[in-house]
Amino acid sequence: MHEGQLIAETEFVIVDVETTGLSPVEDRITEISMMKVLNGRLVDEFATLVNPLVSIPPYITELTGIDNLMVRDAPPAREIVPTIATFLENAVFTAHNAPFDWGFVYHTAFRERGIELVNQQLCTVRLSRKIVPHLPSKSLGQVAKFLEIEIPARHRASGDAYATAMLLIKYLSYLEKRFAIKTLEELLRFQYYAKVQV
């Protein structure tokens, strides 16, 4: 990150993964969607099902709709990791509950290809806690509903990533108007330290 780098000139890659479970070490990715936002606009995207090479538990299929048959002919993680790394490049890794998605993407890249990702991370759950503290739940569904953002397909990577991208665009506009936050450094600091009453 360059000191004073403007948010308007920063690429944010919004990531959502669907997985076989909750452990980024033990479990595997079944679907990934990445949407690139620059200067308040969605400019590029990448999405694919991923063959986890293990059986998908029934409760995961019930939640996501992704079953073993759907991923049978999908590429395994080892094949798509180079694409993921190239797409992320120097962008800010952004997700709703970023530690979860980052954990899976980071561990997958390192395990499959020995690639150690070093992207800055932005969490829209953390931002939601500061910007809409009155909402009882900061889940993507609840925040999106409050901000009148449509989720095309809940609990599918592309639908959730798109909604998170729209959420980020709204938040960045709000933060600039309300708090004059214009640099990436200010934004990353805000998610952890700012105390805001809206």
Q: Is residue 188 part of a domain?
A: yes
* 2 is a domain residue: no
Q: Is there a contact between 146 and 132 (Cβ–Cβ < 8 Å)? A: yes
Q: The domain that contains 81 carries what CATH number?
A: 3.30.420.10
Task: Let me know if residue 118 belongs to a domain.
Answer: yes
Task: Please tell me the pTM assigned to this model.
Answer: 0.95
Mean pLDDT of the chain: 95
Residues 14 and 115: their CA atoms lie apart, in Å, by 19
Give the range of the structural domain holding residue 173, as residue numbers without chain letter.
7-193
Nearest-Å Rg of the Cα atoms of the chain is: 17
In-domain check, residue 112: yes
1 located within any domain: no
CA distance 31 to 50: 5
* Total domains, the chain: 1
- Determine the average pLDDT of the residues in 23-41: 98
What band does 198 get if pLDDT is binned at 50, 70 and 90? very low
| Residue whose C-alpha is closest to residue 167's, from 147, 152, 185 | 147
Dihedral pair phi/psi, residue 92, rounded to 5°: -85, 120
152 falls within a domain: yes
Asked whether residue 56 is domain-assigned, the answer is yes
Say if strands 11-19 and 92-95 run parallel, antiparallel, or are unpaired. parallel
Comparing CA positions, the residue from 143, 160, 34 lying closest to residue 93 is 34
User: What pLDDT digit, counting tens, does each position of 104-156 carry?
Assistant: 999 999 999 999 999 999 999 999 999 999 999 999 999 999 999 999 988 89
What local confidence, expressed as pLDDT, does residue 7 receive?
98
Instruction: Tell me whether residue 198 is in a domain.
Output: no
Q: Which two tokens stand for residue 95?
A: 């997700």
CB 141 within 8 A of CB 113: no
